[in-house]
Amino acid sequence: MKINWLWDSHLSEAEVRKIIKDENNPKFNIYVQKLFSRVNDPKIAFDIIDEITFLRKWPVIKKQMQKDRWLNNRLIFWQTIYERVLERFKKKGIKIRQFQSTAISPEMEKIAQQIKDVRLSLGYTQKDLAEKLGVIQQYISKIENGHENISIDNLKKVADALDKKLIVKFS
């Protein structure tokens, strides 16, 4: 079944494919973001964008997509695909340094551990917490593993869901 992911575009799929083949094209990010927000089949997506370009450009596209909270599930889905493709390249021995996300900061690690500790002390599963927040369980997993750069607003929502106060302390 063919997916019409360009339903609101005046360009043909052939024209969009040409744009996506050139990551320096000024419209590249716009159309790749549409692709990842509307297509949930990696085979279809990787027929349009090659995996190397995906690995190189995903962090930028992800940041753009994070601005639209309606895309949260798609973000998590494509982040998982990103990690799997990255792992496959590692196993093949392909140098992927330029594609790796930044290391987890000690501060993020500490916050992630605190969230996990409080959740466990309350007897909540990740799924329980996810349901309280209206997100999927994988998002909680990414937070607790330090792989999600959580905003202060979202950190406050997590604290509220755990019946805790959020206190930011500078020392």
- For the chain, helix, strand, coil in percent to 5 are 65, 0, 35
Domain assignment present for residue 6? The answer is no
Residue 93: how many CA atoms within 13 Å on its side-chain side? 0
Beta-carbon contacts of 96 under 8 Å, excluding residues fewer than 6 positions away, are 55, 86, 89, 90
pLDDT in tens, 15-39: 999 999 998 888 999 999 999 999 9
- The count of structural domains within the chain is 2
Q: What is the pLDDT of residue 103?
A: 54
Closest CA to 23 of 10, 39, 35: 35
pLDDT in tens, 69-127: 888 889 999 999 999 998 888 888 776 555 544 456 778 888 999 999 999 999 999 99
Domain assignment present for residue 53? The answer is yes
Closest CA to 144 of 89, 95, 104: 104
Domain of 141, in residue numbers: 106-161
Note the pTM of the prediction, 2 decimals: 0.55
Of the three residues 99, 133, 149, the one that is the final residue of a domain is 99
Q: Do 91 and 17 have their domain in common?
A: yes
